């Protein structure tokens, strides 16, 4: 250990002081070019682009912290200033170069007509399909994160009759390990927490469906504040009542996600605070979770 | 061919969804322009065979930045089909939830999508680097606007927080439903959103509107660019409340410099330059045309919605113009100014509506779906006029039609006219054809949402390739 690294009194050793020194070390490292923020490509494929909007809803950390302190976002269709060929070239430079980057993908991969149902850009007069971009970057990235229901297993973009033949990312990157963050959209904490884990501690622990256990372990139903009503058999007859929503079609009993304890949009509310859970973080959403609301049946 | 050049921009970034711009430039001015949607999912077909209630949740997935709009249009169409008369409390709270989305959207569209066309953002972050060499705002003012880019993030996410307080979460809320809304708010929730609204209103008045006029001051030529057809339309926004009357604008159109009442019977969709075959012209409830991607002249999957046969502009400028509150002009810069002024207007409307809430009012019932019915939901949303048309058979959805605001603003040409944004681009002089910054500035003034405009696909004959060039 070099002498300079040893911290001795009167140097402060409080957490704040250490954090401050680390922050200064990283900042000066970044400024001198000695330390580089890791690059992140945020690729929007066939979907609603709602996951990047959800990312903007992050509070701690927020988007500003994410792009100034955590990663260099080098590509984002929704957010980047550059456009046209200069934008799309960034993807090819990464695919053809040696630089390390993390790939986050939202939206499904449209397979129909060899991917022509979803173009991400145009290069040298040729269309660049989402399919092409996903494969080319997915094979190269140091880590791949599937962000949201569509990227994980097709989601709403692949809802029947699935005319665009949309599929989840794994289908086109079959040998690649992909961290999967289902949800419609992803909660900003699920993505930023996963990203932080990758940057600070390496890959987070994943379950059998490659979802980080830190977010996707508990059954919503087991943590639901309305669970006592379920146990006593007190059920809501209409939406807007404060009792268990099971008989209106709530998918909480089959959905593993931390919504009840985490809550959304600055931790103020969650779907069951308004209506039923529609199972958007569960595989097979939406088709296998439908119908979302039912009045005429006790159970499907 | 000297002096003639083709410019293809794809992706056009800083918008929701995917848009390709294809222009021909002659003597440094736009001689031809095509706007093309380049993604397809097929939401209308997806709705067929589903429970009608599921449309309220599933159509929101058309668009991540304006999902609430689809829940409002969808629930309104279902109320029409189910014969449900929504109560005033039901309307108030649904409209408040919708206001939250207007605010979120206008803030983000101005600061995150529009501003970087005019303000040089800190270049140490690759997200912000660009070859745009037409930044004119003096450094000190420029940097303060760039600071507001970051400051605004707090207010747009607070707008979504208000939405979540009433609607569970955002994007893709759970609170809008048949009858207006699902769970009645209590006093704590009401004061929660009131206190946030106060902060957002201050930001809009003290930062967003002055920032907009700063941009306008340094880029005055945009008051003369990006005009478009000059026809404006609104289905009616925050109007016709039983006790409050009209808080914004009634259903009106402005055609040939004359304002007249809107009538939905004049809405039609044309397909001559779109990849569909069938009747050249159809009404929203008609049978839907099959696709034909081999059509020689076709270049986009966005159809060509028309009102009385002509292309219309929809959105904040149309609404403010029709309500008589802003009549400076119809241009790219007027559109951007209108959006910021409308943000203030929406905050005021929202405050009025919040003051009408009677806490704890339960509006939900066990809604009955008829065996057979049809209904339409025509509403004003962030980007303008949005219509959902639904038919029900055997208690399930049998037909669904959606015409989005961006389908109006980014419509294809028809046999007699180009689409709205295409017209806005025509004849635009370009200072530097290698760096045609004017094109993006004009396009973004419409706040394009191509996730919405290109949700449509109909099954049919496949093609081997799409000719892009």
In the prediction, which pLDDT does B1 show?
Answer: 44
- For residue B382, what are its two tokens? 């962030």
Residue in chain A nearest B440 by alpha carbon = A83
In the prediction, which pLDDT does B38 show?
Answer: 80
Contact A86 B42 (CB under 8 A): no
Task: Identify all chain A residues contacting B466, using CB atoms and an 8 Å cutoff.
Answer: 113, 116, 127
Taking the Cβ of residue B40 and every Cβ of chain A, the question of whether any pair is shorter than 8 Å is answered with yes
Task: Identify all chain A residues contacting B192, using CB atoms and an 8 Å cutoff.
Answer: 268
Across the interface, of B39, B128, B132, the residue whose CB is closest to A46 is: B39
Span A117-135, mean pLDDT?
Answer: 94
Q: Which of B45, B64, B71 to mutate to test the interface with A (most CBs of A within 10 A)?
A: B64
Taking the Cβ of residue B112 and every Cβ of chain A, the question of whether any pair is shorter than 8 Å is answered with yes
Contact B54 A84 (CB under 8 A): no
pLDDT confidence bin for A296, thresholds 50/70/90: confident
Gap from B409 CA to chain A (nearest CA, Å):
19
CB B180 within 8 A of CB B90: yes
Across the interface, of A84, A157, A271, the residue whose CB is closest to B168 is: A271
Task: Identify all chain B residues contacting A266, using CB atoms and an 8 Å cutoff.
Answer: 157-158, 161, 164
In the prediction, which pLDDT does B468 show?
Answer: 31
Taking the Cβ of residue B167 and every Cβ of chain A, the question of whether any pair is shorter than 8 Å is answered with yes
Given 4.10.480.10, 3.40.640.10, 2.130.10.10, 3.40.1350.10, which CATH number is that of A220-289? 4.10.480.10
Across the interface, of B11, B121, B440, the residue whose CB is closest to A77 is: B11
Tell me which residue has tokens 């792009």: A67
Instruction: Summarize pLDDT for A5-37 with one digit per residue, the tens.
Output: 555 556 666 655 655 665 566 566 666 665 678
In the prediction, which pLDDT does A23 show?
Answer: 57
Task: Identify all chain A residues contacting B130, using CB atoms and an 8 Å cutoff.
Answer: 81-82, 86
Across the interface, of B42, B364, B466, the residue whose CB is closest to A164 is: B42
d(CA B169, CA A269): 7
Instruction: Summarize pLDDT for A73-124 with one digit per residue, the tens.
Output: 999 999 999 999 999 999 999 999 999 999 999 999 999 889 988 999 999 9
Question: ipTM, 2 decimals?
Answer: 0.94
Contact A278 B157 (CB under 8 A): no
Tell me which residue has tokens 């159109």: B253
Domain extent listing, chain B: 4-453
Task: Identify all chain A residues contacting B459, using CB atoms and an 8 Å cutoff.
Answer: 161, 163
Q: Topology of domain A36-216, per CATH?
A: Rossmann fold (3.40.50)
Question: Which residues of chain B from 403 to 422 reach within 8 Å of chain A, CB to CB?
Answer: none
pLDDT tens per residue across all 469 residues of chain B? 457 999 999 999 999 989 999 999 999 999 999 999 888 888 988 999 999 999 999 999 999 999 999 999 999 999 999 999 999 999 999 999 999 999 999 999 999 999 999 999 999 999 999 999 899 999 999 999 999 999 999 999 999 999 999 999 999 999 999 999 999 999 999 999 999 999 999 999 999 999 999 999 999 999 999 999 999 999 999 999 999 999 999 999 999 999 999 999 999 999 899 877 778 899 999 966 666 666 778 888 788 999 999 999 999 999 999 999 999 999 999 999 999 999 999 999 999 999 999 999 999 999 999 999 999 999 999 999 999 999 999 999 999 999 999 999 999 999 999 999 999 999 999 999 999 999 999 999 999 998 877 654 333 333 323 333 2
In the prediction, which pLDDT does A297 show?
Answer: 60
In the prediction, which pLDDT does A1 show?
Answer: 38
Gap from A172 CA to chain B (nearest CA, Å):
18
Gap from B319 CA to chain A (nearest CA, Å):
25
Across the interface, of B63, B175, B440, the residue whose CB is closest to A48 is: B63
Domain extent listing, chain A: 36-216, 220-289
Task: Identify all chain B residues contacting A84, using CB atoms and an 8 Å cutoff.
Answer: 8-12
Does residue A4 carry a pLDDT above 70? no
Question: Rounded to 5 degrees, what angle do the CA atoms A93, B122, A64 make?
Answer: 90
Q: Which residues contact A242 (CB under 8 A, 6 or more apart)?
A: A226, A236
Contact B9 A63 (CB under 8 A): no
Contact A119 B67 (CB under 8 A): no
Given 1.10.645.10, 1.10.3720.10, 1.20.1530.20, 3.40.50.1820, which CATH number is that of B4-453? 1.10.645.10
Gap from A121 CA to chain B (nearest CA, Å):
5
Contact A48 B8 (CB under 8 A): no
Residue in chain B nearest A277 by alpha carbon = B174
Span A47-68, mean pLDDT?
Answer: 96
Q: Which of B169, B192, B196, B200 to mutate to test the interface with A (most CBs of A within 10 A)?
A: B169
Task: Identify all chain A residues contacting B16, using CB atoms and an 8 Å cutoff.
Answer: 49, 53, 78
Task: Identify all chain A residues contacting B126, using CB atoms and an 8 Å cutoff.
Answer: 39, 72-74, 90
Question: Which residues of chain B from 134 to 153 reach within 8 Å of chain A, CB to CB?
Answer: 150, 153
Mind spelling out the 3-state secondary structure of chain B? CCCEEEEEECCCCCCECCEEEEEEEECCEEEEEEEEECECCCHHHHHCCCCCCHHHHHHHHHCCCCHHHHHHHHHHHHHHHHCCCCCHHHHHHHHHHHHHHHHHHHHHHHHHHHHHHCCCCCCCCCCCCCCCCCCCCCHHHHHHHHHHHHHHHHHHHHHHHHHHHHHCCCCCCCCEECCEECCCCCHHHHHHHHHHHHHHHHHHHHHHHHHHHHHHHHCHHHHCCCCCCCCEEECCECCCECCCECCCECCEEEECCEEEECCHHHEEEECCCECEECCCEECCCCCCCEECCCCCCCCECCCEEEECCECCECCHHHHHHHCCCCCCCCCHHHHHHHHHHHHHHHHHHHHHHHCCCCCCCCCCCCCCCCCEEEEEEEEEECCEEEEEEEEEECCEEEEEEEECHHHHHCCCCCCCCCCHHHHHHCCCECCCCCCCHHHHHHHHHCCCEHHHHCCCCCCCCCCCCCCCC
Across the interface, of B125, B153, B366, the residue whose CB is closest to A237 is: B366
Task: Identify all chain B residues contacting A54, using CB atoms and an 8 Å cutoff.
Answer: 64, 171
Gap from B67 CA to chain A (nearest CA, Å):
9
Contact A264 B365 (CB under 8 A): no
In the prediction, which pLDDT does A32 show?
Answer: 66
């Amino acid at each position: 250990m070099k002498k300079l690294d040893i911290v001795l009194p009167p140097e402060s050793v409080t957490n704040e002081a250490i954090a401050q020194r680390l922050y200064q070390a990283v900042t000066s490292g970044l400024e001198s070019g000695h330390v580089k923020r890791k690059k992140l490509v945020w690729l929007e494929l066939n979907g609603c682009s709602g996951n990047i909007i959800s990312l903007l809803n992050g509070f701690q950390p927020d988007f500003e912290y994410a792009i100034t302190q955590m990663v260099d976002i080098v590509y984002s269709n929704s957010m980047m200033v550059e456009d046209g060929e200069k934008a799309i070239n960034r993807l090819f430079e990464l695919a053809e170069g040696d630089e390390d980057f993390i790939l986050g993908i939202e939206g499904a991969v449209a397979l129909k007509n060899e991917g022509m149902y979803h173009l991400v850009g145009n290069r040298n007069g040729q269309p660049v399909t989402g399919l092409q971009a996903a494969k080319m970057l997915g094979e190269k990235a140091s880590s791949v994160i599937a962000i949201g229901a569509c990227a994980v297993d097709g989601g709403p973009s692949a809802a029947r009759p699935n005319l665009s033949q949309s599929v989840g990312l794994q289908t086109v990157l079959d040998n690649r390990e992909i961290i999967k963050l289902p949800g419609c959209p992803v909660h900003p904490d699920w993505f930023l927490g996963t990203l932080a884990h990758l940057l600070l501690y390496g890959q987070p622990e994943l379950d059998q469906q490659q979802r980080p256990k830190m977010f996707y372990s508990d059954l919503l139903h087991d943590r639901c504040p309305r669970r006592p009503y379920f146990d006593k058999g007190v059920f809501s007859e209409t939406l807007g009542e404060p009792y268990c929503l099971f008989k209106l079609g709530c998918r909480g009993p089959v959905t593993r996600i931390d919504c009840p304890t985490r809550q959304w949009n600055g931790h103020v509310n969650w779907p069951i605070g308004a209506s039923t859970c529609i199972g958007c973080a569960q595989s097979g959403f939406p088709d296998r979770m439908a119908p979302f609301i039912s009045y005429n049946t006790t159970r499907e | 061919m000297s002096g003639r050049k083709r410019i293809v921009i794809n992706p056009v970034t800083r918008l929701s969804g995917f848009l390709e711009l294809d222009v021909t430039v002659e003597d440094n001015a736009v001689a031809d322009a095509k706007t093309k949607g380049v993604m397809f999912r097929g939401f209308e077909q997806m709705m067929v065979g589903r429970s009608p209630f599921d449309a309220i949740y599933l159509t929101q997935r058309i668009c991540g930045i304006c999902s609430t709009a689809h829940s409002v249009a969808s629930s309104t169409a279902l109320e029409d089909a189910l014969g449900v008369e929504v109560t005033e409390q039901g309307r108030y709270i649904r409209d408040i939830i919708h206001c939250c989305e207007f605010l979120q959207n206008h803030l983000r569209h101005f600061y995150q999508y529009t501003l970087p066309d005019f303000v040089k953002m800190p270049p140490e972050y690759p997200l912000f680097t660009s070859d745009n060499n037409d930044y004119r705002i003096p450094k000190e003012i420029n940097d303060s606007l760039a600071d507001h880019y970051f400051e605004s993030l707090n207010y747009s996410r607070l707008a979504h927080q208000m939405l979540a307080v009433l609607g569970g979460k955002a994007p893709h809320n759970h609170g809008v439903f048949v009858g207006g809304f699902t769970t009645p708010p209590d006093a704590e929730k009401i004061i929660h959103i009131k206190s946030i609204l106060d902060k957002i209103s201050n930001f809009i008045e003290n930062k967003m509107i002055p920032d907009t006029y700063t941009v306008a001051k340094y880029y005055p030529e945009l008051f003369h660019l990006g005009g478009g057809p000059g026809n404006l339309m609104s289905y009616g926004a925050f109007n016709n409340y039983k006790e409050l009357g009209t808080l914004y604008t009634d259903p009106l159109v402005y055609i040939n410099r004359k304002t007249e009442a809107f009538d939905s019977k004049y809405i039609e969709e044309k397909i001559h330059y779109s990849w569909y075959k069938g009747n050249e012209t159809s009404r929203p409830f008609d049978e839907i045309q099959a696709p034909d991607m081999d059509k020689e002249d076709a270049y986009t999957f966005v159809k060509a919605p028309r009102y009385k046969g002509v292309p219309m502009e929809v959105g904040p400028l149309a609404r403010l113009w029709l309500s008589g509150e802003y009549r400076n002009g119809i241009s790219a810069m007027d559109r951007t100014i209108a959006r910021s002024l409308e943000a203030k207007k929406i905050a005021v409307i929202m405050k009025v509506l919040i003051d009408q809430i009677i806490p704890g009012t339960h509006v939900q019932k066990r809604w009955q779906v008829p065996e057979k019915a049809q209904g339409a939901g025509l509403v004003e949303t962030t980007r303008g006029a949005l219509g959902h048309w639904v038919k029900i058979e055997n208690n399930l959805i049998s037909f669904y039609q959606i015409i989005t605001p961006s389908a109006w603003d980014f419509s294809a040409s028809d046999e007699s006219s180009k689409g709205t944004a295409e017209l806005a681009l025509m004849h635009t002089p370009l200072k530097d054809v290698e760096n045609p910054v004017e094109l993006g500035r004009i396009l973004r003034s419409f706040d394009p949402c191509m996730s919405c405009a290109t949700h449509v696909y109909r099954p049919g004959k496949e093609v081997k390739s799409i000719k892009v060039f």
